A and B are shown apart, each in its own frame.
Chain A
Amino acid sequence: AQTVTQSQPEMSVQEAETVTLSCTYDTSESDYYLFWYKQPPSRQMILVIRQEAYKQQNATENRFSVNFQKAAKSFSLKISDSQLGDAAMYFCAYRRSNTGNQFYFGTGTSLTVIP
């Protein structure tokens, strides 16, 4: 099974500042997909951003962007201009591109935003 590692169980950021959440993964595949999901307190998990491994350009979604380093098997999430509503648990996830829909999730990073 693929493994996804999030080495930061908890992070904090000052409101309006920038924070980067780390994620590394292990795979022998050359093509795959990577995702960041957000789970706000007591609310359902939603997709933040996704990246195709064969695309060199880093994905961006408004204040959220990724730094995808394929050779290093690293997929970090950068949140710019942090807002109170960004406080949540963030999960990095991996999915193979050619079979099924099984996702492999990391252990999560709990982000606190300090007013």
Chain B
Amino acid sequence: DVKVTQSSRYLVKRTGEKVFLECVQDMDHENMFWYRQDPGLGLRLIYFSYDVKMKEKGDIPEGYSVSREKKERFSLILESASTNQTSMYLCASSEHGTSIRNIQYFGAGTRLSVL
């Protein structure tokens, strides 16, 4: 089974702190994704990466950056956390390619509260 592991289930941070959310996948997937999930807004893509050191902006990249130094690890960074970044963050991974079999596999999520 594919395993996507997010390092923390819950995080509480203070405004202005630098926050790192870590995600690791064990299936050698090329693609990795960070989403933000808010009630009534669904999943919104923040950033994705299709290879080591490669990244692409999603729909809501402002206030976030990412790092992918190794294939299995994709980090989301909040340079200076703000209260409007309080949310559930989901990491996902998938194989590269256009087949319908290449679905996204999700981690359990990190619920971040910024006070």
Which A residues contact B (CB, under 8 angstroms)?
Answer: 1, 6, 9, 33, 35, 37, 42-47, 50, 52, 91, 97-103, 105-108
Contacts and interface: CB of A to CB of B under 8 A. Distances in A.
A83 B60 CA distance: 36
A101 B96 contact: yes
Contacts, number: 50
A98 B107 CA distance: 26
Contacts of A98: 98
B106 A46 contact: yes
Interface string B33-58: 00100001111010010100000001
Interface of B: 4, 31, 35, 40-43, 45, 48, 50, 58-59, 90, 94-98, 100, 102-104, 106-109
Contact of A43 (B45, B100, B108): B108
A99 B98 contact: yes
29 contacts: A1-B59, A6-B42, A33-B100, A37-B106, A44-B4, A44-B108, A45-B90, A45-B106, A47-B103, A50-B103, A52-B100, A91-B42, A97-B98, A97-B100, A98-B98, A99-B98, A100-B31, A101-B31, A101-B50, A101-B94, A101-B95, A101-B96, A101-B97, A101-B104, A102-B45, A103-B104, A105-B43, A106-B42, A108-B42
A55 B48 CA distance: 29
Nearest to B45: A102
B41 A101 contact: no
Contacts of A103: 45, 104
B103 A35 contact: yes
Contacts of B98: 97-100
Contacts of A105: 35, 42-43
A79 B58 CA distance: 32
